[in-house]
Amino acid sequence: MKNYLLLLLSFYSFRGLAQSRNPDSLRAKVYELKVKTIVDEGVKLPFESIKIMDSRFDTSKLGFGLGKFASLMVTASFFRILLKPGIEKGIESFYNQYYQPAFTPNGKTLLISIKKLWIDNMPVRSPHSASQQNMERFSLRDIYAKFEFYIGSHNGYVPLVRVDTVFQLTPLTKVDDYDRKEEDQLPFLCFALEEMVENVNFRLYMHDSTKKKEMTIAGIESYNAKMKNFPILTQPVKQGVFLTFDEFKNNLPSVTSFTKRKLRKTNITELVDKNNNVILHYYACYDGTTLRIGKPLSSLSKMVSPKYDIMYRVGNSFQLYDDQIVNNTVRGSVTGIHRSSPSIPYQYSYESMNFIPRQLDLETGEFY
């Protein structure tokens, strides 16, 4: 029965991907950030409110979460993380409720332009590296955050500082008010949001703010839009092989003539240039129909199918399913028919393929 269940779940995993290989088709789960505690009375902020501007490449979600059968990595158990009543308004409401006792009524507003905010529930180092094909990880959850802070009012804002960091949740991480039973309120995200504000010395950066040129909301939005003007987003994808991330971002494949050749008795397809040389390492390739992420041949196995490395554009970013080979070990013991019979220990190992939704960071070239 157990073997049947394992086979059924494996079939379900592959079948789910066959039906839709774009992670954006995953179901959505909507969370609501709730203020549980009052901000420490020692926290005093030199402004009276906080305004949020979502300037990320993909503003549709905060990451991918895990649901039922998470330990087996069935693709159907993943979902897109959303906020109620929307990501921008949800964070803004949380901030203004939580920091209400700490605000200073001076007519100033802190504008936070969120350039990056992503919850990685399956963090691995170098996910496409041949040396990192298992699911062991130091961190249970990573949150990537990059905020740009402005101060001002509805008439205009001046830039203060940019903060770019990663929060890691490990078994040793001490997070105030963090309770695994309250995951429906994203407690680790709330912790990260609070740290992003409380670790900034706003009075220091506001000291010479009057000397800086003010920007309107429209001006800041225009500035953020220009920062996304990568050729891979503004032009049709050019056919060819992108050997590096810079080539991909600039839509300039250095190999413009190539063919695909399937290795005998495998699901692996290799790329060959016009001189019949195999292209072993590349970032991505586009054959005029499908955009694929590049993976070294040494990191592939007979289990890999070329249909699972397709990249899809979502908003101003790209995403895919990352296939990872996991070595599993099962240990136990078998007892004989009679109670007096000794227990016989057993152990067996097997290899499985997991498919994890990832999104491309167009600033670094990494997948989270």
Q: Report the length, in residues, of the chain.
A: 368
- First-to-last alpha carbon distance for the chain, in angstroms, is 36
Contact between residue 282 and residue 271 where contact means Cβ atoms under 8 Å apart: yes
Tell me, rounded to whole angstroms, the distance of Cα 181 from its chain centroid: 23
329-343 pLDDT, tens digit per residue, is 667 766 655 566 677
Dihedral pair phi/psi, residue 362, rounded to 5°:
-75, -5
SS3 (DSSP) at 42: coil
Tokens of 17: 């991907």
* pLDDT score for 328: 62
The letter for the amino acid at 248 is: F
d(CA 341, CA 136): 37
Q: Are 294 and 311 in contact (CB under 8 A)?
A: no
Give the span between the Cα atoms of 273 and 255, in whole angstroms.
7
Q: Tabulate helix, strand, coil % of the chain (nearest 5).
A: 25, 35, 40
For domain 19-228, which CATH number applies: 1.10.3470, 3.40.50, 2.60.120, 1.10.101? 3.40.50
Tokens for 258? 């190539």
Question: Which of 22-26, 120-124, 295-299, 347-351 is modeled with the greatest confidence?
Answer: 22-26
Report d(CA 266, CA 154) in Å as an integer.
61
Find the mean pLDDT for residues 252-274: 83
Say yes or no to pLDDT of 70 above 50.
no
Q: What is the pLDDT of residue 261?
A: 82
Q: What is the DSSP letter of 227?
A: T
- Which positions ≥6 away from 15 have C-beta within 8 Å? none
Gyration radius (Cα) of the chain, Å: 24
C-alpha–C-alpha distance, residues 92 and 87, integer Å? 9
Pairing of strands 156-169, 78-83: unpaired
Q: Are 225 and 174 in contact (CB under 8 A)?
A: no
Residue 54 dihedral angles phi and psi, to the nearest 5°: -80, 105
What was the pLDDT predicted at 325?
64
CB 367 within 8 A of CB 128: yes
pLDDT tens string 307-332:
557 899 998 999 988 876 666 666 77
Q: What is the pLDDT of residue 359?
A: 92
Q: What percent of the chain has pLDDT over 90?
A: 45
Question: Over 90: is that where the pLDDT of 16 sits?
Answer: no
Whether residue 201 has pLDDT greater than 90: yes
Q: What pLDDT is stored for residue 40 in this prediction?
A: 87
Q: What is the DSSP letter of 181?
A: G
CB crowding 118-155: b at 16 or more within 10 Å, else e:
bbbbbbbeebbeeeebebebebebbbbbbbbbbbbbee
Indicate the pTM of the whole model: 0.81
Classify burial at 7, counting beta carbons within 10 Å of its beta carbon; exposed 0-12, middle 13-18, buried 19 or more. exposed
Give, in degrees to the nearest 5, the angle at Cα 162 between 156 and 167.
Answer: 135
How many other CB atoms are found less than 10 A from the CB of residue 235? 10
Give the least confident one: 55-69, 170-184, 250-264.
170-184
pLDDT: which is higher, 125 or 213: 213
Domain range list for the chain: 19-228, 235-315
- State the average pLDDT for the chain: 80
